[in-house]
Amino acid sequence: MRIDKLLSNLGIGTRSEIKKMIKQKQIKINGELVKNGKDQLDPDSAQVSINDRPVAIQLTKYLMLNKPQNVITATEDAFQRTVLDLIAPDDLVKGLAPVGRLDKDTTGLLLLTNDGQLAHRLLAPHKHVAKTYQATIDGIVNDDTVVRFKAGVRLKDGTLCKPATLKIISVVEKDNQSEVEITITEGKYHQIKRMFAACGMHVATLNRIAMGPLNLDQALGPGQYRPLSENEIQALLKLK
Ligand code: URA
């Protein structure tokens, strides 16, 4: 990773401030004065000091990705593209991993972090973190479906889901299609597809638009990502 990028990620200063500090011979890596901010260092092993005072390197990354279709939610795979293949080398810090999983054909909000504790909290079943999806359904969703979701859908294998909120956005009877928004507070395997399958319907498209306090940034095109803002990070860390 570039020295100037790492130091600005650590909040030491902007890239131009760091350039100035380098010029003023204030920064050492492994005891050697840094001459060029573009030089590379290994954040896992480098000892950084500023004016001979050591600086702790603790790079915690929180990235919001708009997951595209045809990419799997995994950290590595021998044959298929993974969500980590969409992350630039400078952001690929050790331990970066997706929080939870979206199916290969599901799009939308996916959080990636190397903050294992936060990931664990967000996924813990008893935390009931809400996840909201927009879906196109092959079938006619009506008030009965809404009531079924509210009561908790029983999947075909007998599993009972927790109550979920289903909002009908539009129904086009001639095309046998419905647009809906659905919020669930658990994360069973293929949960939404299986909930609709239990109601005799098929999910044609699925896009996650929110997870806990995070809303998918509409400025992110498919495959694009950005770091979370400080407010977003604080909102996540506040989740009890
Ligand atoms: N439910 C599904 O069926 N698939 C997803 O990717 C997420 C929720």
pLDDT recorded at residue 224: 98
CATH 3.30.70.580 describes domain 62-126+213-237:
yes
Q: Look at ligand 1, atom 3, and give the residue with the nearest C-alpha.
A: 190
CA of 237 to the centre of ligand 1 (A): 24
| CATH no., domain 130-211 | 3.30.70.1560
Residue with tokens 């504790």: 117
Q: Which of 188, 193, 207 to mutate to test the pocket of ligand 1 (most atoms within 8 A of CB)?
A: 193
Q: Which CATH class is domain 3-54?
A: alpha beta
Convert 210-226 to b/e letters by CB count within 10 Å (16 or more is b): bbbebebeeebeebebe
Segment 187-191 long-range contacts (CB within 8 Å, at least 24 positions apart): 187/100, 187/123, 187/125, 187/131, 188/155, 188/159, 188/161, 190/103, 191/161
Q: For residue range 133-192, what is the model confidence (pLDDT) as tens digits? A: 999 999 999 999 999 999 999 999 999 999 999 999 999 999 999 999 999 999 999 999
Q: Look at ligand 1, atom 2, and give the residue with the nearest C-alpha.
A: 190
> What does residue 231 show for φ and ψ, rounded to 5 degrees?
-60, -40
Above 90 in pLDDT, residue 230? no
CA of 191 to the centre of ligand 1 (A): 5
pLDDT recorded at residue 7: 85
> What does residue 69 show for φ and ψ, rounded to 5 degrees?
-70, 165
The one-letter code for the residue type at 8 is S
CA of 227 to the centre of ligand 1 (A): 24
Confidence of residue 240 (pLDDT cuts 50, 70, 90): low
CA of 158 to the centre of ligand 1 (A): 18
Q: Which of 66, 73, 83, 103 to mutate to test the pocket of ligand 1 (most atoms within 8 A of CB)?
A: 103
Confidence of residue 221 (pLDDT cuts 50, 70, 90): very high
Q: For residue range 8-58, what is the model confidence (pLDDT) as tens digits? A: 877 788 888 999 999 999 999 999 999 999 988 887 788 889 999 988 776
Partners of 54 in beta bridges: 49
Nearest to 102 by CA among 6, 232, 219, 189: 189
Alpha helices in 53-190 (DSSP H): 116-123, 143-151
Please indicate whether the domains covering 3-54 and 62-126+213-237 agree at the CATH topology level: no
Residues with catalytic function: 103
Confidence of residue 226 (pLDDT cuts 50, 70, 90): very high
The secondary structure element, H or E, covering residue 65 is strand 62-67
Q: Locate the domains of the chain by residue range.
A: 3-54, 62-126+213-237, 130-211
Helices 230-238, 116-123: axis angle to 10 degrees equals: 60
Kindly state the average pLDDT of the residues 97-112: 98
Distance, in Å, from the CA atom of 222 to the CA atom of 109, rounded to the nearest integer, reads: 10
Ligand 1, CB within 6 Å, residue ranges: 102-103, 106, 190-193, 206
Q: Which of 185, 190, 207 to mutate to test the pocket of ligand 1 (most atoms within 8 A of CB)?
A: 190
